[in-house]
Amino acid sequence: MLTEIYVDIDDFCKAKMQLIAKALHHCGAYKKLHPSQLSLSEVMTILVYYHLSPYKNFKAYYTRHVSEDLKRDFPDLISYDRFVALIPRTLIPLMLYMAYRCQRSLRTGIYYIDSTPVTACHPNRAHQHQTLKGFASWGKTSVGWFFGLKVHLLINHLGQLVHVRITDGSTHDANPKLLFELTHDVVGWVFGDKGYLLNTEKQAFVEHQGQVIFAAKPRKGMAKADWPLAAKAWAKKRSLIETVIGQSKAVCNLEHTRHRSATNAFVNVYASLIAYSFYERKPVAKVDLSNRLLMAGEPNWALAA
């Protein structure tokens, strides 16, 4: 797994080196750092692999596992303090690499959408929280209020991440602009819970002139949706995305509340989601891809089958 992650990240960094270098050049915080013995792809690999390891403390992971067990894989290792100083360099490359991983996910025609909160701190300490000040805000989910960020996910029925967006906690799931960004390059059915109910105008905007059929679960007391029988069967698989969110938090350590800087907090989120994209035991929903309801424009359906 470590070799697979490193090779893929290294190939990406080599292919996009000019773009990454240009992005880093315009960020003044990185100019203060001297060149490192570790390459950018090695630093990114160590960060991503942490989220697939059993460690929940990064210092213990680096000093005990990386420095001892992975010394052959990373012969030019540096001290823990020096490595921590290099972490901010990886934010933009991780963002670009996350988008690259999402582009490689299969467009199967059946998608599920949901969001999950990433708390910045305990609600009682929100008034004195400084790390994510300006990024985090109050939001509400079905289980109550939280202070932090929201991670919005669009996945296919194979459990692969198709699109990811990070917003403040107050952003509504049914925000039309956000939904457009999550679904702009997909064709087929998108299933969400009752939080994604849209009025006629918003739904027409999100559906891109019929390329997307946006299907949200109706609220209690509303008329049942007039969907085809097969679509109703696909909608029952919507719990798949709940499993994906659960794995990204429980296995890949998506949520962490002890960051010392906003940059490191976002690095943690992106590295965690990238780690999930490499996770071998993704949940899968069994659906019939030969159904005629699926639109004929998806190039990867045959591959997915």
Its sign, for the CA torsion 1, 78, 18, 23, is positive
Quote the DSSP letter at residue 148.
E
Q: Which amino acid is at 69?
A: D
Q: CA–CA distance from 121 to each of 182, 256, 267, 271 (Å)?
A: 27, 9, 17, 20
Across the chain, mean pLDDT equals: 83
219/178 Cα distance (integer angstroms): 22
**Nearest 5°: CA angle at 272, between 11 and 78?**
65
Nearest to 256 by CA among 59, 98, 105, 62: 59
Strand-pair partners of 192: 216
H helix count then E strand count, the chain:
13, 6
Positions of the chain with pLDDT lower than 50, given as ranges: 29-34, 292, 295-305
Which tokens go with 59?
A: 């210092």
Q: CA–CA distance from 209 to each of 7, 192, 301 (Å)?
A: 40, 19, 21
Listing DSSP states for 45-106 in one string gives: HHHHHHTTSS-S-HHHIIIIIIIIITTTT-TT---HHHHHHHGGGGHHHHHHHHHHHHHTS-
Distance, CA of 58 to chain centre: 20
- Across 281-301, b (16+ Cβ under 10 Å) vs e yields ebbebebeeeeebbeeebeeb
Nearest to 106 by CA among 180, 159, 164: 159
Quote the DSSP letter at residue 53.
S
Q: On the CB side of 104, how many CA atoms lie within 13 Å of its CA?
A: 11
Q: Which amino acid is at 156?
A: N
Beta strands in the chain (DSSP E): 110-119, 137-141, 144-156, 161-168, 188-192, 212-216
- Convert the pLDDT of each residue in 147-204 to its tens digit: 989 999 999 999 999 999 999 989 998 888 999 899 888 888 899 888 888 888 888 8
238/235 Cα distance (integer angstroms): 5
**Contact call for residues 180 and 145 (beta carbons, < 8 A):** no
- Convert the pLDDT of each residue in 112-133 to its tens digit: 999 999 988 888 888 888 888 8
Which tokens go with 26?
A: 């315009």
What is the residue whose two structure tokens read 């420095």? 67
What pLDDT sits at residue 31?
Answer: 47
What is the residue whose two structure tokens read 């403390």? 57
Q: What is the pTM of this model?
A: 0.86
Domains and CATH numbers, the chain: 2-100 (no CATH), 107-256+286-304 (3.30.420)
Strand-pair partners of 288: none
